[in-house]
Amino acid sequence: MDTFCVTREARDAVRTTWGSEKMVMDKVVSLFFLLGQPGHEGREEMQQKILQESEEHHDIIQSDFLDSYKNLTIKTMVIMEWLATYCQNATYAMKIDSDMFLNVNSLINMLLQAPRKNFITGLVAIGAAVSRDPSSKWYLPKDVFPADFYPPYALGLGYVISLDLPNKLIEGAKHVKAVYIEDVFLGLCMWYLRIPLTNQTDQSLFNYFTVPYNRCRYSKLIATTTHSLQDQVNFWKELKKPGPHCQP
Ligand SMILES: *[C@@H]1O[C@H](CO)[C@@H](O)[C@H](O)[C@H]1NC(C)=O
Ligand SMILES: *[C@@H]1O[C@H](CO)[C@@H](O)[C@H](O)[C@H]1NC(C)=O
Ligand SMILES: *[C@@H]1O[C@H](CO)[C@@H](O)[C@H](O)[C@H]1NC(C)=O
């Protein structure tokens, strides 16, 4: 569920790897990509391609906002509305960027012991400083966001929520100042709702820095960034080969 420039290629990498896992440890897993509208030149042609891809795979949700970095908060709230409407029967959802490596088994293992309500986890940032540097991708001027630190928030590259939260977050969002940094915005909503975020005690499960491939390590982690789509595909295939994951 990334910005539009992350392409068909990234979605195909997901579809052929962790996104192909539909039943894991007896649990039903579904995958969807959320897209906005393509912008700029060539948008008609791009839209045609999206429709084709959608007919082929039936896993694309498209909403009517312009898909851009500065619209990621809109994208996240569209995801929340979609989850609240169509996923009442599911217990958890994960929002993850399409260039991430995900180990679905590890994810479900963690969730089997997780609370089923008021639960959000991932890489929880605590006391992150607000960027006042106008050249930064994450710049927020003081008049838009006066506090010097953000409330705790789960980094947007991959977080998991219990499915009672979408409705609560949608309600909370009405009372929170809109900032375009989507994960910070959800953090503000959680702050408003007075619901604490859950950090994993095992800090090796969610990874911001790409973890070098190691069969044992990858069999345990939940998510990590990767250097390339090719790595994402190769690591997944290697991990799925038969045989023990860790040396005794
Ligand atoms: C966000 O989406 C809206 C609705 O499509 C659009 O009008 C606006 O220009 C977009 N903003 C950015 C910064 O892309
Ligand atoms: C949820 O489960 C109920 C009862 O099993 C079923 O009737 C309903 O269609 C399901 N809803 C969705 C959105 O899957
Ligand atoms: C979660 O873990 C990260 C990484 O170790 C740390 O920076 C952060 O402060 C932790 N957050 C909580 C809520 O303990």
Q: Which of 127, 115, 130 is CA-nearest to residue 198?
A: 115
The response to whether residue 201 sits with its C-beta less than 6 Å from ligand 2 reads no
Strand order from edge to edge, sheet including 223-225 = 100-102, 223-225, 206-207
In angstroms, what is the span from residue 89 Cα to ligand 2's centroid? 6
Atom 13 of ligand 3: nearest residue by CA position = 199
The rounded distance, in Å, linking the Cα atoms of 241 and 218 is 13
Of all ligands present, the nearest one to the C-alpha of 82 is: 2
Pairing of strands 153-154, 124-125: antiparallel
HSE-up (13 A, CA, CB side) for residue 148: 0
Q: Which two tokens stand for residue 229?
A: 């789509």
CATH topology of domain 3-239: Spore Coat Polysaccharide Biosynthesis Protein SpsA; Chain A (3.90.550)
The response to whether residue 199 sits with its C-beta less than 6 Å from ligand 3 reads yes
pLDDT band at 3 (very low <50, low <70, confident <90, very high): very low
- Kindly report, residue by residue over 160-214, the tens digit of the pLDDT: 999 999 999 999 999 998 899 999 999 999 999 999 999 998 989 999 999 999 9
Q: Which of 129, 149, 108 is CA-nearest to residue 25?
A: 108
SS3 at position 3: coil
End-to-end CA distance of the chain: 38
Q: Which of 123, 198, 199 for a ligand 3 pocket mutation test, highest count of atoms within 8 Å of Cβ?
A: 199
pTM of this structure: 0.90
Q: Which of 33, 35, 121 is CA-nearest to residue 75?
A: 35
Q: Is the pLDDT of residue 129 over 50?
A: yes
In angstroms, what is the span from residue 65 Cα to ligand 1's centroid? 6
- Kindly report, residue by residue over 58-67, the tens digit of the pLDDT: 999 999 999 8
Higher-pLDDT residue of 105 and 144 is: 105
